[in-house]
Structure 1
Amino acid sequence: MARDLRGFIQLLEDRGQLHRIKTEVDPDLEIAEIANRMLQIGGPGLLFEKVKGSNFPVAVNLMGTVERICWAMKMEKPEELEELGKKLGMLQQPKPPKKLAQAVDFGKILFDVVKAKPGRSFFPPCHQVVVEGEDLDLRQLPLIRPYPGDAGKIITLGLVITKDVETGTPNVGVYRLQLQSKNTMTVHWLSVRGGARHLRKAAQAGKPLEIAIALGVDPLIIMAAATPIPVDLSEWLFAGLYGGSGVQLAKCKTVDLEVPADSEFVLEGTITPGEMLPDGPFGDHMGYYGGVEDSPLIRFHTLTHRQDPIYLTTFSGRPPKEEAMMAIALNRIYTPILRQQVPEITDFFLPMEALSYKAAIISIDKAYPGQAKRAALAFWSALPQFTYTKFVIVVDQDINIRDPRQVVWAISSKVDPSRDVFILPETPFDTLDFASEKIGLGGRMGIDATTKIPPETSHEWGEVLESDPTMAAQVERRWAEYGLGDIAFTEVDPNLFGYDIKL
């Protein structure tokens, strides 16, 4: 399979996971409404071949299930994502090998890093068509407007590429951009993000910031750019590690930046520090419209694209959405890294319904009093993306953290709120979270739902009810004799919405 968007679309079509829509559709509200209904039922990716006001087709919902994200990352099962996490964990905190087998494993990882280095393309497909100057009109792109209250049309799945004006170190992020005119857009990024840091440094140096937007790239590269784990590696190298071979890069036509050579579209421009325009409101991942914020203005002067390009898009909102599926996949990758950071954590889960990061359920192998609180505090500081997690529920390792029935039972049967709930007030908070009294500042709650041991409690804990193992085995053997053969013990497919619930 080719390492580009077209190769992934072909893979989905070959596996019966792509539906082509030949009827003309409107990028204003209609595409998002169709895609949202498909997301709700875990349906196939969509390719709209005739889009009103544009000559370019639109792809959406390509990563609408965890299964398809695994395919994008050259894997077949979600469990393989944890193996990737182990590899990244070893690179993050390498330890001297104590055994020959460990040395061999580490050597293999170093070889993977060598293979993952990006290559260079001198005749890149993304330069097949060049549009410059007055001929550039961003309104010809099939930019969508997902919700009726949105301020305008947006780019959502573009790789936003900038470079540190002092060190030359690039940053690749995925940020929302709002169309402002035929050749300008605003970019919405948090102040802690790499692009925002680069803009501040450009302002200090009195220079404009060069910027490129790569649209319609290999979904694997999008996953790499969306992985904010603290490893001193570039996003290009991450993508190479994810895919097993280096990403082919191409130099932009007019700015000193590199983009994936197989990008469907590339926008090139500059930001003049201090030049801002109002951005928003837009529907966001919290399930509400965000506010209006003054955001940096990008002036584009060049557009390049492939012959017959395909425009890839998505949109935010209350789960399930593509971003929630991406978060479930990243959850699997984070698990081994988190275990390395906080050894007592045996597993953790970020429920999609809790926006994939607002609530975390972690299990521990409890060995001493107070360990649950320690694990919660360690979780909040383990990785940058957990900074905005509001709720952490800690359970024993025998609880299936992906089964809400077991988690609710643990909370209900093992928690005394006066003893087991603790709150950290006025901590850094997500500015899109309207629940806090002060925007950007709010509290966090930890819940110790583990079995209590002295001195956490002064009395004996009750014995958990369990079936007699001999009788359980007998019933299982005689299940068909009871006339119940048609009612089998099955598992819900965990790839649809990320659960693994035993029935």
Structure 2
Amino acid sequence: MRRLPAFPDLRSFLRWCDAAGEMCSIAQPVRLRGEVTAVHRKVLLAGGPVLCFERPLAEDGSVSSIPLIANLFGTRRRVAAGLGIEPADIAQLGEFLAALRSPVPPQGISDALSRWPQMAAALRARVKVLGRGVSQEERMGEPDLSRLPVQTCWPGDAGPLMTWPVVLTRDPGSQASDSGRYNAGIYRAQVLDRDRLILRWLPHRGAAAHHRGWVRKGEPMPVAIALGADPALLLAAALPLPETVSELAFSGVLRGARTSLAPAVSVPMLVPSSAEIVVEGWVHPGETAPEGPFGDHTGYYNSVEPFPVMRVSAITHRRDPLYLSTWTGRPPDEPSIIGEVFNDLALPVIRQQIPEVVDLWLPPAACSYRIAVIAIDKRYPGQARRVMLALWGLLAQFSYTKMIVVVDADIDPRNWDDIAWALATRYDPARDTMLLDRTPMDYLDFASPLEGLAGKIGLDATVKLGSETARAFGEVMRLSPEAEGAAERIVKAEGLA
């Protein structure tokens, strides 16, 4: 399955990008406030390379000695490369991951041997604990976040914001060595001062669940943040995995090599041994601060709300660290490009639960998950509505999908013209609309009448069967295969196409 070598760290992946002609260094100073985002955005929109800002310029005029890396996953090809594959293999990887999630018992020795890749992947899911990692080559005498080139992306942002942190937390009933009970998530982190961060995690996320457990115990929660992790860990932390699946273990499957961890230096945690920078600290019960506003993936600034404060106890790093960053905003942005790949990876898992699904598209322009278009193999009345309800309940992320359009298998759900034709000819607003009220919604959706609660709409744009309609449906016009074949020969012979 894996066509590319394992990338044990960010640097090995950057070397691959450089060899592929997808790396560009910018030697001139570029301001961390606004300018890095502006340059990154123009390059991303042009499908450009990974960027290395060699001399990030802070607001006080000082130049950081730590280069800033941006646009790491700015193209579909680089997202696939981070998974160790070519873009053409994304669907196949999705099938493989679905088989890992719900394996079928082998039927005899030959069947078991044919599944060796799955067994090898399971072995790679075990983490490897080292005594010390390269992420701990040096330790700041006093933790000082101002020494990191943390950018302020948008003019209305409240301050510097870490945008690619892999935040590690663990269950309050676990031991530091129990990596299987860790959560690794991408949660934005606002820099408050030299040794304090605000961690923004939403209530349904794994870190928030861990935090509630530590609060119930009345104890501070240990936290570690990996900055500049390897691509497999970055993507595993961003994937909407089931709660029972460890991101640390799953990254080993994606990487093609076991995840290496090392004991943290100031908190009872294991941390990625190959990361560029590790920030360690504690979140104390009840200690919060107003977070934001910050520009978000919706294209709007989010509202200011209290979130937990992390007191930094140590910062370790490589001898010559790199700082990885990005920006979020109205798509296309880096997260929306990653989301396009994740859409295709998730399709086989969705089919396991909803077998009639032929294809599914989450339009990136709709903030990657607010709208879903589903093509199904329709066989009975009411099937489209059943699929809508099943998708809304399948994964936590789909509970934030506010519009679902269901079409037949002859419609390309990734083609707006096809979707518009299906809506115009197979959908009746009075009959084929399903409305739900007061359902979970991302509180960043300012269209919602209530914070965290909103309506949902399902549009059944399928051909109506049986009791769904009182009149016969029209027949779709199609040319005969013979006419199509003749046309292809004639057009080719005349050089018309």
For the superposition of Structure 1 and Structure 2, which TM-score range results when normalised by the shorter chain?
Answer: over 0.9
Among candidates 21, 25, 28, match of residue 23 of structure 1:
28
Q: Partner letter of residue 466 of structure 1?
A: R
Q: Distance in 2 between matches of 1:430 and 1:211?
A: 25
The percentage of aligned residue pairs carrying the same residue is 39
Aligned to 1:6: 11
Check the 8 A contact 1:117/1:245 in 2, yes or no: no
Aligned to 1:39: 44
Give the 3 Å change call, closer, same or farther, for CA 99–72 of structure 1 in structure 2. same
Per-residue CA deviation, residues 287-315 of structure 1 (Å, 9 max, x unaligned), is 10000011111111211110111100111
Aligned to 2:178: none
Among candidates 61, 82, 86, match of residue 95 of structure 2:
86
Correspondences of 1:330-369 after superposition (within 5 Å) = 330-369=342-381
SS at match of 2:224: strand
Aligned to 1:491: none
How far residue 232 of structure 1 moved from its aligned partner, in angstroms, is 2.5
Q: Partner letter of residue 50 of structure 2?
A: G
SS at match of 2:198: strand
Q: Distance in 2 between matches of 1:46 and 1:107?
A: 39
SS at match of 2:347: helix
Aligned to 2:220: 208
Aligned to 1:137: 144
Check the 8 A contact 2:132/2:263 in 1, yes or no: no
Among candidates 445, 450, 453, match of residue 462 of structure 2:
450
Q: Distance in 1 between matches of 2:336 and 2:70?
A: 14
Correspondences of 1:4-403 after superposition (within 5 Å) = 4-52=9-57, 53=62, 54-77=64-87, 79-97=88-106, 103-106=112-115, 108-133=117-142, 136-168=143-175, 169-230=181-242, 232-403=244-415
Structure 2 unpaired stretches of 5+: 176-180
Give the 3 Å change call, closer, same or farther, for CA 108–220 of structure 1 in structure 2. closer
Aligned to 1:459: 471
Check the 8 A contact 1:58/1:311 in 2, yes or no: yes
SS at match of 2:478: coil
SS at match of 1:419: coil
Q: Distance in 2 between matches of 1:421 and 1:141?
A: 51
Check the 8 A contact 2:94/2:348 in 1, yes or no: yes
Check the 8 A contact 1:342/1:382 in 2, yes or no: no
Q: Distance in 2 between matches of 1:343 and 1:294?
A: 42
How far residue 176 of structure 1 moved from its aligned partner, in angstroms, is 0.4
Q: Distance in 1 between matches of 2:109 and 2:389?
A: 36
Per-residue CA deviation, residues 150-199 of structure 1 (Å, 9 max, x unaligned), is 00000011110111221332111110010111111111110121211222
TM-score (norm 2): 0.94
SS at match of 2:172: coil
Q: Distance in 2 between matches of 1:174 and 1:60?
A: 16
Structure 1 unpaired stretches of 5+: 488-503
Q: Partner letter of residue 12 of structure 2?
A: G
Per-residue CA deviation, residues 109-153 of structure 1 (Å, 9 max, x unaligned), is 1332112311123341111111133xx211111001110000000
In the comparison of the two structures, how many residue pairs are matched? 482
Larger deviation: 212-221 or 92-101? 92-101
Give the 3 Å change call, closer, same or farther, for CA 285–101 of structure 1 in structure 2. farther
State yes or no: 1:423 paired with 2:435: yes
Check the 8 A contact 1:132/1:301 in 2, yes or no: no
SS at match of 1:478: helix
SS at match of 1:144: coil
Check the 8 A contact 1:92/1:230 in 2, yes or no: no
Q: Partner letter of residue 225 of structure 1?
A: A
Correspondences of 1:479-494 after superposition (within 5 Å) = 479-484=491-496, 487=497
SS at match of 1:12: helix
Among candidates 403, 410, 417, match of residue 405 of structure 1:
417
Q: Distance in 1 between matches of 2:218 and 2:458?
A: 45
